[in-house]
Amino acid sequence: MRILYTSNFHGNDGGGITTYIVNLARALAPRHTVVIAAPQNGRLYQTAMTIPGVEVVPMEFRNSLRSMIDTGSALRQLMDSRSFDIVHVNGSADHRIVMLASLGLANRPSIVYTKHHDLPTKGLMPWIKAAFATDSVICISDYMKQQLAATVYRNKGLQVVRHGVDLQWYFPFAAEAAKEARQHWLRDAPEDVIAIGSIAGTGIYKGWLEMVAAAASLPAELRSKIRILVAGCTPSDAEQQQVAALQMENNVLYTGLLQDVRPLVAALDVGFVLSRRETLSFACREMMAMGKPVIVSAVGGLPENVTSGRDGWIVPSQDKAELTALLQRIVTDRQHLAAFGQAARLRSEREFSLHSFAADTESVYHECVNRVHQQRTVYAAGEGQLQLMTQPTQVDMAIAAGERHS
């Protein structure tokens, strides 16, 4: 199968969308032809260049007329010359340009769309893209399927395929390695300190400030036993001032962007993803795969990762009192954390495997290609019948029949 992935993220990390495409490309490249078209200054392009067997094409997917013309023309030439079976789109701009580039192609590829965010799907453009440039939709959680079932995509073969993570890469560190990681990040912190951290990023909607505020509400003795580690871009001065106003600056560590998050996760006792909106979360699944129980907010697809009270906890969104009470229970009763971490790893092995993620996505591709082929065959047969009815000579009928079977 010939597969083209597209994404429109420029000059930044690309977050979970980059991880999503990279994981699929690595898994599928050994048995399929995989090409990735993405902006040259983004992490996806740079990371994909290192994947054996994957071809990477620089393309500037932007929401501008110039990009629609220039990128659309280049993309059309690529699709026409390579005869892709599948184009898998992952953003708004690339979806729109794929639509324009594929109009009228003699061998138009089947188009699969994954909606990674939960922003509203409304207006004329989603309707146009659904009608002209979407054959199947991958929903990354049950939550997303429910959302999309009420949109213009409801009749586009919605199928749930949750994120998979590389369980060989994200694994629980051995005790000595975990101890070294903890010493690196926590330095002189007492041994009884609880390290609570997030690799979900520092966007304000990720809820990391809510964790800081909840910890600040603990009694002083318990608050002193908590360290909060946050990976991602350095927070703004205003956000750091909020931390200082809570008198938590000595309890919070900003790690910056990390090329490899595993040593940080290994140092943690508990992970957290307290997003105000989230479709599923790679970060949550990566921390659980490394044997860390995770606190998640009851938002979007996050609760689908965790069984509360077994391998993590689910708390109401933006409920400081509930989160503070949970932190107090964790700090005063920490002996259960190891069992929670083991349960998180077991769940990862059972449900989060990269193999299942790739195989299920592959099944969507095959179903989509076969269904679209059948639809085109029926349509072509219908056109042939119309031609026979309007050109009644036996010679013309024989020619038409021969063309249909060529």
DSSP H stretches of helix in 290-353: 320-332, 337-351
Looking at residue 391, its pLDDT comes to: 41
- CATH node for 175-353: 3.40.50.2000
Residue 9 pLDDT class (50, 70, 90 cuts) = confident
Q: Tell me whether the CATH fold assigned to 2-161 matches the one assigned to 175-353.
A: yes
Averaged confidence pLDDT in the chain:
92
pLDDT tens digits, one per residue of 59-103: 999 989 999 999 999 999 999 999 999 999 999 999 999 999 999
User: Between 388 and 152, where is the model more confident?
Assistant: 152
Percentage of the chain lying above the pLDDT 70 cut: 92
Looking at residue 393, its pLDDT comes to: 38
Cα distances (angstroms) measured from residue 237 to each of 234, 241, 386: 9, 6, 69
Cα distances (angstroms) measured from residue 11 to each of 6, 15, 40, 161: 15, 12, 8, 28
> DSSP character for 134?
-
CATH number (3.40.50.720, 3.30.930.10, 3.40.50.2000, 3.10.450.630) of 2-161 reads 3.40.50.2000
pLDDT tens digits, one per residue of 43-59: 999 999 999 999 999 99
Please determine, for residue 387, whether its predicted confidence score (pLDDT) is greater than 90: no
Looking at residue 382, its pLDDT comes to: 67
pLDDT tens digits, one per residue of 226-285: 999 999 999 999 999 999 999 999 999 999 999 899 999 999 999 999 999 999 999 999
The Cα–Cα gap between 61 and 404 comes to 38
pLDDT tens digits, one per residue of 173-210: 999 999 999 999 999 899 899 999 999 999 999 999 99
Whether 157 contacts 136, CB under 8 Å: yes
Looking at residue 385, its pLDDT comes to: 55
Residue 397 pLDDT class (50, 70, 90 cuts) = very low
pLDDT tens digits, one per residue of 94-103: 999 999 999 9
Looking at residue 276, its pLDDT comes to: 95
Residue 12 pLDDT class (50, 70, 90 cuts) = low
Please determine, for residue 404, whether its predicted confidence score (pLDDT) is greater than 80: no
Looking at residue 380, its pLDDT comes to: 64
Whether 52 contacts 122, CB under 8 Å: no
pLDDT tens digits, one per residue of 316-328: 999 999 999 999 9
The Cα–Cα gap between 28 and 43 comes to 19
pLDDT tens digits, one per residue of 22-42: 999 999 999 999 999 999 999
Percentage of the chain lying above the pLDDT 90 cut: 86
Residue extents of the structural domains in the chain: 2-161, 175-353, 370-406
Looking at residue 237, its pLDDT comes to: 97
Upper half-sphere CA count for residue 110 (Cβ side, 13 Å) = 24
